[in-house]
Amino acid sequence: MQQASIYLSHPGIINALGSGRESIAAALWQADTSGMVDETGWIPQRTIPVGRAQGQLPDIPPHLRKFDSRNNQLLLAATLQIQAEIEAAIAQFGPHRVGVVLGTSTSGIAETEAALRVMRTTGELPETYDYAQHEFGSPSRFLSEYFGLTALAYTVSTACTSSAKAFQSARNLIRHRLCDAVIVGGVDSLCNLTFNGFHALESISSTLCNPMSVNRSGINIGEGAALFVMRRDASPFQLLGIGESSDAWHISSPHPEGTGAKQAMQYALQDAALSASDIWYLNLHATATPKNDAMESLAVAEIFSAGVPCSGTKPYTGHTLGAAGATEIAICALAIQDGKMPAHHWDGCADTEMPALNLVTAETATDAVAPRICMSNSFAFGGSNASVILGAGL
């Protein structure tokens, strides 16, 4: 039986490129990396580029102070951009039929870090601290209470695939008639735990990340949020396919041959009833770590043997971790909307031990070919993989 089509609204989005889809698109098409700023204090005796979200963040309403965290402020900033679409869905279906599925890997850990620093000095947690700020379920609970929703609301936390996988979960809620619309996306904010964890893995670059280069030396960490309304009614973008896999090769390293990555892309194409040649643009996971880029290049070269225009966009946003999937799906939406592909930002020094990919350049970024169908890859610790395919809707 053919499944009903699933659609997505325009995205609400905030990250190092800016706030709002217009400003982010403008910066993206200009290949503007100025949002990646050098900061100290995250890693001892090192200055590193950080993708700090731009713009003034909104305050959490007083009656929701238990959810007061930078993470939820980022989420609210993205939410306010599409509040009209959310309220329209609530008016149409009722608060009992609009769900929330988000991805995060940090939630309000930064607030817990700050509270523990106070406790170390005073012996007590500050009165303003509430564990609800920290919980991984906090973003979804916050949005649910913010809009007075009573449908299912939960958070997916699978490291860097968190918000990509949220789209599969949200689609399932609609297809199984548990919801008529779902607020879906992801959010992550900067915190010491993340920086120190990746530093311990020797995976943080001291310079702007350099994906797919022989000189790549690790990630830049960023923060941000991206949010959509998913529904059956025709909307600007159509969710065409999703593929998930788990190669479970290693706790922190992907399968060296990209086995799980290939499966995720294959499953997404099968789910969308498309062939590789139908994909107009591929947003690479492209973390600029040695093993991730090596395996992804192998996987992409095999699935897209005839080549596909592709690029990694983390030099513009930083690696937003649990928000990366939703952020890069939103970038695909902007590409479809504007008929432009993000240029791949790197030093141009190819790794001859990796297959050559058709990396988008400033000269090839604009392409009026229709239909514009995009795939976005997300890969995570533990071999968690997700690929999402998006096309034009209305």
Q: Residue 21: which domain range?
A: 6-392
Catalytic residue, chosen from 10, 199, 255, 285, is: 285
| Predicted confidence (pLDDT) at residue 240 exceeds the cutoff of 80 | yes
What band does 2 get if pLDDT is binned at 50, 70 and 90? low
Determine whether 319 is an active site residue.
yes
Asked whether residue 32 is domain-assigned, the answer is yes
Determine whether 160 is an active site residue.
yes
Catalytic residue, chosen from 199, 255, 319, 345, is: 319
Asked whether residue 1 is domain-assigned, the answer is no
| Predicted confidence (pLDDT) at residue 383 exceeds the cutoff of 90 | no
Q: What is the pTM of this model?
A: 0.97
- Mean pLDDT, rounded, for 104-126: 96
3-state secondary structure of 65: helix
> Which CATH number characterizes residue 273's domain?
3.40.47.10
What band does 250 get if pLDDT is binned at 50, 70 and 90? confident
pLDDT for 145: 98
Catalytic residue, chosen from 10, 160, 310, 345, is: 160
Kindly tell me the burial class for residue 275, based on how many C-beta atoms sit within 10 Å of its own C-beta (0-12, 13-18, 19 or more). Answer: exposed
pLDDT for 209: 98
* Number of compact structural domains in the chain: 1
Asked whether residue 15 is domain-assigned, the answer is yes
Residue 256, CA distances (Å) to 77, 102, 287, 385, 387 in order: 38, 29, 15, 14, 18
For residue 162, give the nearest of 294, 334, 312, 329 by alpha carbon: 329
Query: Model confidence over 351-380: pLDDT tens digits?
Result: 999 999 999 999 999 977 778 999 999 999
Query: Model confidence over 280-310: pLDDT tens digits?
Result: 999 999 999 999 999 999 999 999 999 999 9
